[in-house]
Amino acid sequence: MSDYEELHGLFLEDLSIGMSAIFAKTITEADIVLFAGITGDTNPIHINQEFAEKTIFKQRIAHGMLSAGLISTVFGTKLPGPGAIYMNQNLNFKAPVFVGDTVTATVTLREINGKRVSFDCECRVGDTVVLDGDATLMVSKRPV
């Protein structure tokens, strides 16, 4: 087996409709501060408690894209895993995520169309869907 194959996640031939994978992470204060610093998104709803207390949420919320990033974690590390290439992502933000919430990202393979594979995506905090959507990735065939 080559180094490429050793490092690569699943190949197209390994995939089947209905396959699913998850990643869960508890969102910390550090996650929110670091995400704000990396992206430059310093919206006070994320980083200013006094401001956030005056909003409908009454407290700071995590960046929506922080939760969405957990979907990328699933794709890049589990299903299909290393070597997969993100083509697009559609997201619907449905509920806030707060410091201390554990977000579980789930992806489920919906369609295989050539080298392009489509997934249904969802992030939950407990029973609450905080975001959902779909994504398309490109997955390579096993080398001959």
Would residue 134 count as lying in a domain?
yes
CA–CA dist 49, 76 (Å, integer): 33
CA–CA dist 98, 102 (Å, integer): 9
For residue 52, the enclosing domain spans 3-138
Q: What average pLDDT does the structure give for the chain?
A: 96
Would residue 144 count as lying in a domain?
no
Would residue 102 count as lying in a domain?
yes
List the structure tokens of 101.
């919430």
Would residue 63 count as lying in a domain?
yes
Would residue 52 count as lying in a domain?
yes
Residue 55 CB: number of other CB atoms within 10 A? 13
Q: What is the pLDDT along the chain (144 residues), one digit of tens a residue?
A: 678 888 889 999 999 999 999 999 999 999 999 999 999 999 999 999 999 999 999 999 999 999 999 999 999 999 999 999 999 999 999 999 999 999 999 999 999 999 999 999 999 999 999 999 999 999 999 888
Would residue 42 count as lying in a domain?
yes
